[in-house]
Amino acid sequence: MRRIISFIKSTILFFAAMFAVLFIYDSLFPPISTLMMARTLTVRHVWRDYVPMRRISPHLVAAAIAAEDGKFCTHHGIDWESLQDVVKDKLEDGDDSHGASTITMQTVKNLFLWNSRSVVRKAVEIPLAMALDLVWSKRHVMQTYLNVAEFGRGLFGAEAASQRYFGKHASALSPREAALLAATLPNPKKRNPARPSGYMLGYAGIIQGRMSQVETRCTR
């Protein structure tokens, strides 16, 4: 009984702390990622211009969902089916080349955790993503994700990336430009949407083909 009471108290404290942190993020200043903070503390350049969702092209929202998290509007922070498939592949074949991180999980990782893959990080990431989905709307999760995601070395967020690569605001991105930016996300230090490789063009084409089919109403 003592262990149960202790667990309940710990759970309540955890969620209370999460609510407090997320309230501060929501109310006092634009969220920043741990990577942005690390670069700032080590006196390395950070380029980011935080913008609200109304100043981000719907094409980029659709591209991000198509590329990173097709069930974004329907899950509660975790895509359990994809996560089970990844665990099964790892146990059966030792294949850990495929991830199951939702946009919510990636947002949590960017805001609070570290980048290297590990079981420990994933174990922390899952309950945090569920808490984030409980506290923030899908629109706010997507807004934060598109403002803290890394699009190049020292380059963070949709607005800075749009200005750097295409010389325009994020609100003016075309479907092709949005797909190219989404294709950058898995490897932003090696991919350049302004000078895409053949592989990147093909991947962006796949993303663009999916964009009209994904659900985006939850972000409006």
pLDDT tens digits along 92-111: 554 444 467 899 999 999 98
Shared domain check, 130 and 87: yes
Residue 14 belongs to domain spanning: 1-29
Shared domain check, 64 and 160: yes
Q: What is the pLDDT of residue 123?
A: 81
Shared domain check, 166 and 146: yes
Shared domain check, 99 and 155: yes
For the record, the structure tokens of 26 come out as 């929501």
Identify each DSSP E strand in the chain by its residue range: 150-152, 155-156
Q: Long-range contact list for 189-192, CB < 8 A, 24+ apart?
A: 189/150, 189/152, 189/153, 192/152, 192/165
Q: What is the pLDDT of residue 74?
A: 93
**Looking at the 3D structure of the chain, how many domains does it have?**
2
Q: What is the pLDDT of residue 90?
A: 56
Shared domain check, 191 and 167: yes
Shared domain check, 201 and 115: yes
Low-confidence ranges of the chain (pLDDT < 70): 1, 4-5, 7-8, 11-12, 14-16, 18-19, 21-28, 86-99
Residue type, 47: W
Q: What is the pLDDT of residue 152?
A: 94
Q: What is the pLDDT of residue 97?
A: 45
